[in-house]
Each structure stands twice: as C-alpha cells, then as structure tokens.
Structure 1
Amino acid sequence: MSMSQQFKARINDLYVSFKKHDDTQKDRLQRYRNIEPDSAHFLAMQIRIQKSKKVLEIGTSTGYSTLWLADALQVTQGQLTTLEIDAVRSQQAQQFAQEFGLDPLIQFWVGDAKDYLAECTEKYDLILLDAERDAYVDYWSDLKRLLSKQGGILIVDNVISHAEEVKAFTHLVKEEGNYLLSTLPLGAGLLVITAKDYDV
C-alpha cells in the first residue's frame, strides 16, 4: 500500500542517516544534499493532485526524493526518470529503490543532465530540478520544451536557501513572460513554475 506506515518509517530513517552523513562532510560536493522532508511530501502530494504520469527528476543523489516521487507514482500508475552525474550515488539510489520495491517505476540515468535534456523528446507532467544551480540557465531552453503544455509544472529546490545562486535563472523565466512563478516556503524553498496558457 502506497504511503504505508512502513514506508514513512523507513524513509524517515534514511533521511536521518543521510543527514548524519552530511553533517560530517566539510566539502559541499561530498554531501548528499537531499531535499527536506516537507518538500518531498509536497512533491508526493502534487503528483497525486496532478495525477502525473511522467515525472523527471534532475539530481538523484542517493534517492531520498526519488523514493517519494516513485511512491506517489504507484498511485497514478506513472513512471519516473531520474538523472544523476555520480554513478556511485545513482547505484545507491537504485539499491534503495529495490529495497522499497519501487525500482520497476524508475529509470535511472547516469551522466550530465545537459546531455539528457538536449536529446530527450518526452513531455513531462512534473519536473523536479535539484542539481548544480549554475547550470540551470543552460537547462532552461530544454526544460520548457520538455514540460507538458497541459498543465505541466517545474519545481526548483533551494530557491530560498540559495536565492542568489538561482537569481539569474528566476529572472530568465520571468522575463519570458509566458510563465507563472510562485515560491513556497517549504524546506529550502521551492519555486513552482507553470505555463500561463496551454498553447505556449
């Protein structure tokens, strides 16, 4: 059963262990930097509300958010593609997905997200962007192309905690004029982006 007590207990244990690891790492890149529980819960709710079928995650890390997304996609009978440049972390995430029995719902892709986005021709109902923030501006032209025109949403993490680092990206989207943006004070801050009109 999706979102069972067992799922919630185990996912909480994972978050605690990932957080303990991060607390011991001085180098930012050595940290797992998983999304916060409040943000993960919101994403899982959004998938259910939207009845998302196809979801893209940019930045798997060790798979904390991946598990939340896939668990929600069990309800909608959807599929998740998750991108991660670090093969070791992607493998860790795959192992957790197998433990949770969610691996049939997930395609794990290892490499530079820019390459995947440039070649992808899918349309996604929901895209979670939680990667290296200095790449977001370069991603934008592909992100808007891949976002479903029927109410698809892009959610960007860390927009409050790292506001300066996402400023150029946010400005770029606003300048376009065809998108609605809203910042939610959940976790490190989530920016929700959707097209104003379905024919954008």
Structure 2
Amino acid sequence: MVLKGVLEELEKLGKENDASEEQKDRKYLNITRDTGEFLAVLIKANAATQVLEIGTSNGYSTLWIAAALPTDGHITTVEISSSKVIQAKDNFKRASLSHKITVVQAGAADYLEQANYQFDLVFLDSDRSSYIQLADQIVSLVRPGGLLVCDNAVSHAGELEEFIDFVNSTGEFTIATVPVGKGEFVACKNA
C-alpha cells in the first residue's frame, strides 16, 4: 500500500531531521505513530467527515487523518511555513490523498479570524503558546458533539495548562488527557 510506505518514510525522515536540526522551525515535530492510530480511531468512532488541523508540518499527521476519513470526508490543514507546505503537498500526492486535503498557507490566527465553518474534529499541533489567545475562535469551530484534540498534552503540559483550563471552564466540553504518544488532550463538545 502506497500510504503505508509514505508514512514509514516520513517517520524515519522526521526522526533523522529532528535529531540533527538545530532550528526549531526546521524540525518536523511530527506526532507519533500511536497518536496517528488514535486519531484514526477517534475519526471513525465520531463518524467525522470535516476536520481542521492547525499545524501541517510535512503532512504526516494529515495523512493519518485523511486516510481515516470516509470517501466524502475532507481535512483543511493550516501551515505558515511555505517550505513545509510544498513538502506536505508532495507527500499528499505521493500517498494519493490530495483529493481529501485542502492546504491553507497562513498563520493560525489569520485563518481562524476568517473561518466560519464548524468541524467534526479540530486537531491542534502547532505553536502551543498561541492557543490561549485563539481559544474563543478554536472552541467556536467545534460543532456540537464534535471533538477538539490537542497534541503534546503530557510532554508540554505546562504550556497547555491555561488553554485546557479555558476549554474546561466553558462548561461546553467533557475532557480527558490520554497518555498516547506525547499526550493527547481530548475534549468532546456537548451536543
């Protein structure tokens, strides 16, 4: 299967690149394989068809999500780095999943400012320090019954504490932190 080969290649590339690259913005900082599997289960269990991802990198997580979506499913993924957008689009094409993916080259704040559509699942894996400033917009984009998932909830718990507290304080979500990969904060919006 083509997808499996692309995913394995990106896992290897990510580990090698991140171990040797000094500059944070040049690292891929991809999710772990078990996080990809976890996202796939969440998508299928929630019958998600519309997903928003903030933080594409080279498209590793996007491929996991796109592959789990049904035939009519779609993911919009937002990435600010032009070089990573180019790499991601190439990876989507090689995995034969481009038809399910819209790539938006923009900063998260710029995209969220104009977004007016609710998603079945919103996946956050970008600049964690910006989440709290964008919290109102992020929460509003999750449809009732939908999921908000945030990577690095265990590995960078301190950086996410204020954002997680905000989501919990809305009273609109049932929340859990799941020790998969680097830790996943999962919030299900009340229907």
**TM-score, length of structure 2 as denominator length:** 0.95
Q: CA deviation at 1:44?
A: 1.2
Partner Cα separation in structure 1 for residue 72 and residue 12 of structure 2: 29
Q: Which amino acid aligns with 2:175?
A: L
Partner Cα separation in structure 2 for residue 19 and residue 162 of structure 1: 19
Correspondence for 2:157 among 152, 163, 170: 163
Partner Cα separation in structure 2 for residue 45 and residue 113 of structure 1: 25
Q: CA deviation at 1:144?
A: 1.4
Correspondence for 2:65 among 43, 63, 69: 69
Look up the match of 2:133.
138
Q: CA deviation at 1:76?
A: 4.7
* 1:192 corresponds to 2:186: yes
Q: CA deviation at 1:29?
A: 2.4
* 1:123 corresponds to 2:118: yes
Coordinate RMSD, CA, aligned:
1.2
Look up the match of 1:58.
54
Partner Cα separation in structure 2 for residue 45 and residue 81 of structure 1: 19
Look up the match of 2:82.
87
- Which runs of structure 1 show a deviation greater than 6 angstroms over 4 or more consecutive aligned residues? none
Question: Quick check: 2:18–2:27 contact (8 Å CA) kept in 1?
Answer: yes
Look up the match of 1:13.
9
Name the SS for the 1:137 alignment partner: coil
Question: Quick check: 1:51–1:76 contact (8 Å CA) kept in 2?
Answer: no
- Any unmatched runs of 5+ in structure 1? none
Partner Cα separation in structure 2 for residue 17 and residue 126 of structure 1: 27
Look up the match of 1:99.
94
Look up the match of 1:37.
33
Aligned-residue identity in percent: 35
Partner Cα separation in structure 1 for residue 119 and residue 167 of structure 2: 18
Question: Quick check: 1:36–1:188 contact (8 Å CA) kept in 2?
Answer: yes
Name the SS for the 2:131 alignment partner: helix
Question: How big is each residue's C-alpha offset from its partner over 1:45-77, in whole Å with a ceiling of 9 and x where there is no partner?
Answer: 21112111100000000000011111112x352
Partner Cα separation in structure 1 for residue 21 and residue 168 of structure 2: 36
Question: Quick check: 2:6–2:94 contact (8 Å CA) kept in 1?
Answer: no
Name the SS for the 1:138 alignment partner: coil
Report the number of matched residues: 191
| Between structures 1 and 2, the one with greater strand share | 2
Look up the match of 1:175.
169
Q: Which amino acid aligns with 1:69?
A: I
**TM-score, length of structure 1 as denominator length:** 0.91
Partner Cα separation in structure 1 for residue 116 and residue 129 of structure 2: 24
